[in-house]
Each structure stands twice: as structure tokens, then as C-alpha cells.
Amino acid sequence: MGIKLLKVNIFKKLKEFDLEVDFELKQKRLGILGPSGCGKSMTLKSVLTSDEETVYFDSNRKINLKPQKRNVGYLFQNYALFPNMTVEENVASGLSKGSDNKIVSEMIKRFHLEGLEKRYPRQLSGGQQQRVALARILAYGPDVILLDEPFSAMDTFLKEQLRIELVNSLKDFDGFSIMVTHDRDEAFQFCDELIVLDEGKIIAKGDIYEIFENPKRVQVARLTGCKNISRIEIIDDFHLRSLDWGVDFEVSERISPDITHIGIRAHDFSAAEKDDVNVMDTIDSTLLEMPFEWEVTLANGLWWKYDKQIDNHEFTVPEYIKVDPKDIILLEK
Amino acid sequence: MMNWDPIIISMKTASLSILITFFIGLIVAWGIVKLKNDSIKIVLDGIFTLPIVLPPTVVGFFLLYIFGVRGPIGKFFIDFFAVKIAFSWSATVIAAVVMSFPLMYRSARGAFEQVDSNLVDAGRTLGMSEWKIFWKVLFANALPGIISGGILAYARGLGEFGATAMLAGNIAGQTRTLPMAVYSEVAAGNMGSAFDYVIVIVFIAFIAIFIMDYVTLRKEKQWK
């Protein structure tokens, strides 16, 4: 396998915005997270299609090839299996005529498709279709695999199952993989590195744990699942007033003048006494029961999620709750 | 005793013209589908569809203008090959091709556009050549639609009358196709022999449709 480093540099004028994406991939698995219509799929397609702006590096030799020669595997949302070909023919479709038939039987075995060789895609379950699609891609031997929201159209149960299957299937894959998604759980599960896109621009880039712990920007916080976000007014170096909730907070980090918002994750609250730091009352809050958590919405709009057992149906909302100063995420616009 | 000439002429004309129409229709449809410029697409689509909208005699008029002895192509063939196109058997084929082409082209184009474009992209990412993608992915998956386009085009070619009359005339034993024969017999008052030809046309058309429908159904069932 020739690739040591994957470089992508895309500039494209779109109707609503310009797509400007530029990254280098060193780790094996990259996630691209963003709301729908932010240019995620376009980025993925650009890695694929023969646009002059896309530069694709192979062992540092600058080349810009036709999709046929890029050696990129693409897992489509609907898998795009050829409906007129059997499982076997689908898996073999990327191989050139003279090539070894052994690869096909190897892939059939590796993806547990024995006995299904003569079936047509319509006769397969969603999970089997995904495995055929992956077998077809890996038989072709790509350097990079692109995954375009592979689970977006599935029900929860199937989704969980296929996610696990996908992670396992790609474990032995030696090249890079890039997954586009709007689901933070998928991104977190699958990726080592993350890029967050908004309106065609990269707004965060780096190690996945770092981005989730310290999103830095409002959009990123929202996309990584931060439920509570408020505009603020700075009081002094360590104190601020939230404008949306009408509460003053103390924070553990010096507030730089660029900070315009704060975020608090719904799980970061706990019961408190009246005179604790960062306390607020729970008068007029509403309580909702979920299978594994209680959801409390305070009168000022803040969300609190509290874990519970499935057989527990009693919960008294404490009179006061608080948030630790170090759990308040400082955000820039 | 029925004169078999019109039947033989018609079979030859319809067979050759469907062969030409089928492949040209396919390739043109593919080209149009691949075309990115919308205004060029609309103009070309208009030109390719025109023969089905215009009265056949008008199409015949244009064909005569082009292929007639003084027309650009007709004159070329006479000067260089000493071949006269107008009012010869080949004129029946030209008329049938031109008149049946829009049906083939439009059906094939519709069938191509129905194929999930992801399949084409998938083919590309799997390193398949454009030619292989065309046959194994686009053509194979559009086959039912393409075949029904073929049926229509064949039937149209077999029944072609107006443009044929203009370009090929009605020369017994040369350009008198089945529809021409029906017309001639009726004009001569021989309703009986006209009826024989009518039966033959209905029979051939029915068999053709039956065979192609059968093939389409079998293909579709196989994948489902």
C-alpha cells in the first residue's frame, strides 16, 4: 500500500457558500461531523470526483486522477449494490478480468456471506447488504474508504448492530477511512480524528476526545451534543452572567474577552444546597421519564439529565441544583 | 394467391431499421444523459424528438430534401457511389429509422435516468471502465425500459407510412411495404387482399410484443 499520508485540499463555489476544506490525515480513521447541508457529502464526493481542485497525494507525489484510478472505496448510503448482479458478481465487479478468483471467495468468507453467493441484493437483509458492499470495496483493495452516513436511514436497533459490524469489519483494514455523519455517537464510536464542518468551512479539527471535551465554539458544542448553550455577559475574570437563563456563574478558567457563550452538558448538574456555588432553584421545573434517565427542564429552559435504573419510577427533583465551575464550557461565536 | 413481396420487404425494412435505431437510440440517449449543459440538452432533445411530433409527411418532405437526387446527401451518393437513395429500398429503411428513433431514444433516456446514479459512481470507484459501466450497470439495469422502447420503435418502423411514401414511394416489389400494400389494395378496391395484409401486420406486431414482454418479465423476476 503506497499511501502514508492523505492530503485533501478542496475549494469549490457552491450556491449558498464556498466549500473550503483542507486537511491532512495521519491517523487511520477520520470523521467529518456537521449539520445537513454543510458540505460534508460534497467534501467526500470531491475526494472522489475528478475536480481539478481536489489534490490527492499518493506517497507525496502530487496527482489528480480520475475516480477509476484513485483507488478509493466508497460506501454509499444505500450501498449501491448492482441489483442485476448476484452477491458473487457484485464482490467481483471491481476486479479486472484476469485477476485471481480467490479474492472473491476470501471476501465471501471473511464477511460471512457463504451460501448467499447466488442471491441478488434484493433478497438480502440490510446487514447482509452492508457486508456485501464492504466485501466489494475491500476486494478492490482501496487505499482509502469513504463512508457516507452509512446508517442514516435505519431504525435504532439495526443501526446499533451494523455499527458494531462496521467497526469490526474495518478493524483489519490497513488504509485510511473517512466517515461523514451528523450523528455525534457514530463519530465518537468510529473515529480517531474529527473535523467539524459548517457552511463549507472547517470550524474544528483534531483529536476526537479533545473536541468533545473542549469544543471551543458554539456550533461545535451544539454538534457534539451540548444541550444547554447561552449568550453571556462577562462580569469579571472568573464570573459571568448568562443572558438566556438569568443566572450568574463562576468558572474555573480565566474568561478571555472573545468568549460570547457558555455551554453546560445536560449530565453535568447535581443536587445542591442553597448556598453552594453556581446554584439555581428548580421551582416550576418539568419532569419527564425516559427508560434510563430523568429529564428535568428548569423554568429558565436549562436541561438536566439524571441517570436512573429502568425499574425506578420515583424521583423527587431536589430543590436546588448546581454545576461545577470546571464543567462550564466557555465558547466563542 | 397473396403477393408475398410486401411482407418480405416489410420484414427486411423493420428488422434492419430496428437494429440501427436500437443502437443509435441507446448511444444518443446515453450522450444526452451525460450532458451537463441544460440548454444544449433541451435543444438536442427537441431535435431528436421532432419526428414524432411532426406529421410524417413533413418529415418525409425534409428527408426528400436531404436524400433526394438534388439533396446534399442524395447528390453525394449519386456522384461518388452512383447509388440513388430516394425511391429505393434503402429509403424505406431511412424513413423507418428516422420515424422510430424518437421512441427508442426517449424510452432509453427515461430508463437510464431511472437508474440510481450512485450505481454509476459505485462502478467508477470500483475501477470499472466507462464502457463496462455502460453495459454492465446502466444498460443492464435499464434493460426493461430499453426493451419496451425497442418494442415501440419496432412497431413504429413496421407501421411507417407517411414518410416512406414521400421518400421511398410505392413501387411494387421494391418499396411497397405492408402498410403501403394495404393502402394500394384498398385504393384498388380489393378489400379482401387488404384484409390479408392487415392480419399479417397484426400477427407480426403481436408476436414481437409478446416475445419482448416475456424477456422483460423474466429478467425483472430474476432480480426480485
DSSP single-letter state for residue A151: T
Residues in Cβ contact with A300 at an 8 Å cutoff, skipping those fewer than 6 apart: A244, A245, A246, A247, A280
User: What's this model's pTM, rounded to 2 decimal places?
Assistant: 0.73
Contacts of B131 in chain A (CB under 8 A): none
Least Cα distance to B153 among B29, B5, B44 occurs for B29
Judged by CB atoms closer than 8 Å, whether chains meet at B224 and A67 is answered as: no
The whole-angstrom distance between B33's CA and the closest CA on chain A is 18
Judged by CB atoms closer than 8 Å, whether chains meet at B140 and A84 is answered as: yes
What count of CB pairs under 8 Å joins A to B? 65
C-alpha B96/C-alpha B103 separation (Å) is 12
Tens digits of residue pLDDT in A41-59: 777 776 665 443 344 443 3
Contacts of A48 in chain B (CB under 8 A): 121, 124-125
Work out the mean pLDDT of chain A and round it to a whole number.
82
Alpha helices, H only, chain A:
40-48, 87-92, 102-110, 126-140, 156-169, 184-190, 208-213, 218-223
Contacts of B141 in chain A (CB under 8 A): 82-84
Tens digits of residue pLDDT in A165-202: 888 877 778 788 888 888 888 888 888 889 888 888 88
CB A154 within 8 A of CB A189: no
CB A197 within 8 A of CB A203: yes
Tens digits of residue pLDDT in B164-196: 999 999 998 899 999 999 999 999 999 999 999
CB B130 within 8 A of CB B50: no
Q: Looking at this protein, which amino acid is placed at residue A35?
A: P
C-alpha A286/C-alpha A301 separation (Å) is 10
C-alpha B176/C-alpha A162 separation (Å) is 66
Average pLDDT over every residue of A257-286: 89
Least Cα distance to A233 among A243, A246, A223 occurs for A243
Judged by CB atoms closer than 8 Å, whether chains meet at A80 and B140 is answered as: no
Looking at residue A50, its pLDDT comes to: 40
**Has residue B13 got a pLDDT over 90?**
yes
Tens digits of residue pLDDT in B25-37: 999 999 999 888 8
Residue B126, chain A, CB below 8 Å: the answer is yes
Tens digits of residue pLDDT in A300-333: 888 999 998 888 888 888 889 999 999 999 999 8
The whole-angstrom distance between B127's CA and the closest CA on chain A is 4
Q: What region, left, alpha or beta, does residue B169 occupy, with left being phi > 0 and alpha being psi -120 to 50 degrees? A: left
- Asked if ipTM goes beyond 0.90, one says no
Judged by CB atoms closer than 8 Å, whether chains meet at A93 and B128 is answered as: yes
Q: How many CB atoms lie within 10 A of CB B177?
A: 33
Contacts of A85 in chain B (CB under 8 A): 136, 140
> SS3 of A281, please?
strand
Contacts of A46 in chain B (CB under 8 A): none
Tens digits of residue pLDDT in A101-130: 788 888 888 888 899 999 999 999 888 888
